[in-house]
Structure 1
Amino acid sequence: MKAVRLEAVGDISVRHVEVPEPGPDDLLVKVEACGICGTDRHLLHGDFPSTPPVTLGHEFCGIVVKAGSAVHAIKPGARITGDPNISCGRCPQCQSGRVNLCRNLRAIGIHRDGGFAEYVLVPQKQAFEIPLALDPIHGAFCEPLACCLHGIDGAGIRAGSSVAVLGGGVIGLLTVQLARLAGATTVILSTRQASKRLLAEEVGATATVDPTAGDVIEAISGPHGLVPGGVDVVIECAGVAETVKQSTRLAKAGGTVVILGVLPQGEKVEIEPFDILFRELRLQGSFINPFVHRRAADLVASGAIEIDRLISRRVTLDEAPAVIASPAPPGEVKVLVIPSSE
């Protein structure tokens, strides 16, 4: 079968590999769609830890074609979305319920072969069945939506909250929708690209800000801004040093800042601890998707999340390496890899 392989940092290509054979607890899944994530670009450039050689792709959906001898809950013919993050269940973090902080965490598409291939192996505990009537393209959005859900859960959004979302990529646009579903009445998205600002307003943002047009902090939290004094919650979704620096300045006194975007490992950002102390800000990270993948799959299946307008294009496995190796062009939100035309 064809697979998009990261052979080493900076070395990505399509290779022919053997179709994997499922172990007793595994499902062999024929991949229908797999999303290209910013993390895939970080992996290629060595900005995020991985274990090459490995097949990339951690946002996938597909049909079960073979089940291991110990698998009983999911049958061949079912459509599943895979939670790529495999915790050990034994370390102190797992034992305390912090499975996303597992000391032995392994991820499909990062540490073991993933969904940029015709077939992928998925442990049965990582598979979540979704309706056969659901567009498989939508199934590939369950993983990024789950990551956003974890961030929203930590943000503590209440009915009537004001929220600023920094970054207009797929994570930002999904977060806008989840913030509204969580009860926020004011959701402001900041991004440089006009097409993404328009899209944000179409999917639920009550206002958008162009950071190239002036001071974002003044525009949002200044005396004459959209929310004078600052918003209740800031969610950084861009994974850019500039927006991380802005985040604490946009929150009101007593507000919450959630860092959801992925910056390259080792990058530093200057912040002012006195400001965090004096205004008693809550600053937290949000890492992957502990115990929320089922909720994300149900949300996708319900139709409550707008997905179709977030899809920029579909590409083949042969086209995927060039897409991953290139910066996303202006206006692009999400690219889906479709392994087979069948």
Structure 2
Amino acid sequence: MKAMRLESIGNLFVREVEKPVPGPDDLLVRVEACGICGTDRHLLHGEFPSTPPVTLGHEFSGIVEAIGSGVKGFKLGARITGDPNISCGQCPQCQAGRANLCRNLKAIGISRDGGFADYVIVPQKQAFEIPLSLDPNHGAFCEPLACCLHGIDMAQIKAGSSVVVLGGGVIGLLTVQLARLAGATTVILSTRQQAKRTLAEELGATASVDPSASDIIARITGPDGLVPGGVDVVIECAGVAETVEQAPRLAKAGGTVVILGVMAQGETVRIEPFDILFRELRVLGSFINPFTHRRAADLVASGVINVEKLISRTITLEEAPEVIRNPPAAGEVKVLVVAASR
């Protein structure tokens, strides 16, 4: 079968590899769609921990083609979405219910072979069934949506809240929708790209701003701004220094800041601890998707979250290395690698 392999840092190729065989507790899944994530670019450049050589791809869904002898609850031909993050269940963090902070965390597509391939092995506890009637491309959104759900949970958005989302990529645009679903009546998206601002408003944002056109702090929190005095919740989804530094300044006194975007490992930013102290801000990191994948799969299957508008284009596996080697095109939200045989 074909697979896209990160052979070493900076070296990404599509190769012929042996088709995997499921173990007793595994499913063999024929991949239908797998999303390209910003983390894949970080992995290519050595900016996120990984263990090459490895097949990338952690946002995938597909059809069950073989089942291990110990698998229960899944049938051949079922469509599943895979939660890539595998916790050990035994370490202190797992025992405390913090599976995303597992000391022995492994991830499909990062530390074990993933979904940029014809087939992927998925442990049964990481598999979640989704309807066969669902558009196959939509299943690839369950993993990023699950990560956004965790950020929304941490933000503790209440009915009537005001929220600013920084970043107009797929994480930002999913977060806009979830914030509205959580009860926020004001949701502002900040991004430089007009196409993404327009899309955000189509998806539920009550306003959008271009941070390069004016002082975003004054535009949002000033006396004549959209939310004078600051917003209840700021969710940083861009993963760049500029927006991480902006985030605390956009929150009102007593507000919450959630860092959901992924910056490169080792990068630093400048913040003012006195401001966080004096205004008693809650500044939180949100890491992956503890116990949210089932909820995400149900939301995608229900159609409550619009993912179709987030698909910028679909490509073949052979085209994927070149896409990952380059920055996203202007206005691009999500690129999906889809199976040619589907």
Partners of 1:118 and 1:340 within 8 A in 2 = no
Superposed displacement of residue 341, structure 1: 3.1
Give the AA of the match of 2:130: I
Superposed displacement of residue 212, structure 1: 1.1
List aligned pairs for 1:198-213, cutoff 5 A. Answer: 198-213=198-213
Distance in 2, matches of 1:72 and 1:170, equals 34
> Where in structure 1 are there 5+ consecutive unaligned residues?
none
| 1:238 alignment counterpart | 238
TM-score (normalised: structure 1)? 1.00
| 1:39 alignment counterpart | 39
Aligned partner of residue 43 in structure 1, secondary structure:
helix
Aligned partner of residue 233 in structure 2, secondary structure:
strand
Deviation string 1:65-97 (CA, Å, 9 cap, x unpaired) is 000000011111100000000000010000000
TM-score (normalised: structure 2)? 1.00
Distance in 2, matches of 1:81 and 1:136, equals 10
Distance in 1, matches of 2:199 and 2:115, equals 28
Distance in 1, matches of 2:8 and 2:224, equals 51
Superposed displacement of residue 46, structure 1: 0.3
Superposed displacement of residue 136, structure 1: 1.0
| 2:97 alignment counterpart | 97
List aligned pairs for 1:191-230, cutoff 5 A. Answer: 191-230=191-230
Distance in 2, matches of 1:229 and 1:123, equals 48
Number of residue pairs matched by the alignment: 342
Distance in 1, matches of 2:341 and 2:163, equals 41
Distance in 1, matches of 2:74 and 2:340, equals 23
Are 1:177 and 2:177 matched, yes or no?
A: yes
| 1:115 alignment counterpart | 115
Give the AA of the match of 1:49: P
Superposed displacement of residue 276, structure 1: 0.3
Q: Out of 214-223 and 315-324, give the one that drifted further.
A: 214-223
| 1:162 alignment counterpart | 162
Superposed displacement of residue 222, structure 1: 1.2
Superposed displacement of residue 226, structure 1: 0.3
Give the AA of the match of 1:266: G
Superposed displacement of residue 339, structure 1: 2.6
Deviation string 1:307-341 (CA, Å, 9 cap, x unpaired) is 11100000000000000000001100000001323
| 1:146 alignment counterpart | 146
Distance in 1, matches of 2:37 and 2:63, equals 21
List aligned pairs for 1:7-18, cutoff 5 A. Answer: 7-18=7-18
Distance in 1, matches of 2:165 and 2:41, equals 22
| 1:335 alignment counterpart | 335
Are 1:49 and 2:49 matched, yes or no?
A: yes
Superposed displacement of residue 117, structure 1: 0.2
Aligned partner of residue 34 in structure 2, secondary structure:
strand
Aligned partner of residue 73 in structure 2, secondary structure:
coil
Distance in 2, matches of 1:143 and 1:242, equals 26
Superposed displacement of residue 7, structure 1: 0.3
Superposed displacement of residue 133, structure 1: 0.3
| 1:266 alignment counterpart | 266
Aligned partner of residue 74 in structure 1, secondary structure:
coil
| 1:325 alignment counterpart | 325
Give the AA of the match of 2:316: T
| 1:281 alignment counterpart | 281
> Where in structure 2 are there 5+ consecutive unaligned residues?
none
| 1:295 alignment counterpart | 295
Distance in 2, matches of 1:42 and 1:221, equals 33
Deviation string 1:237-285 (CA, Å, 9 cap, x unpaired) is 0000000000000000000000000000000001000000000000000
Distance in 2, matches of 1:189 and 1:204, equals 10
Aligned partner of residue 32 in structure 1, secondary structure:
strand
Give the AA of the match of 1:60: F
Give the AA of the match of 1:121: I
Partners of 1:116 and 1:339 within 8 A in 2 = no
Superposed displacement of residue 302, structure 1: 0.5
Aligned partner of residue 317 in structure 2, secondary structure:
coil
Superposed displacement of residue 231, structure 1: 0.2
Distance in 2, matches of 1:269 and 1:87, equals 30
Aligned partner of residue 109 in structure 1, secondary structure:
coil
Percent identity of the aligned residues?
A: 79
Distance in 2, matches of 1:136 and 1:110, equals 23
Distance in 1, matches of 2:88 and 2:229, equals 44
Superposed displacement of residue 224, structure 1: 1.1
| 1:126 alignment counterpart | 126
| 1:136 alignment counterpart | 136
Distance in 1, matches of 2:294 and 2:319, equals 31
Aligned partner of residue 147 in structure 1, secondary structure:
helix
Give the AA of the match of 2:27: L
Deviation string 1:156-176 (CA, Å, 9 cap, x unpaired) is 100000000000000000000
Deviation string 1:47-79 (CA, Å, 9 cap, x unpaired) is 000000000000000000000000011111100
Distance in 2, matches of 1:76 and 1:241, equals 46
Aligned partner of residue 80 in structure 2, secondary structure:
strand
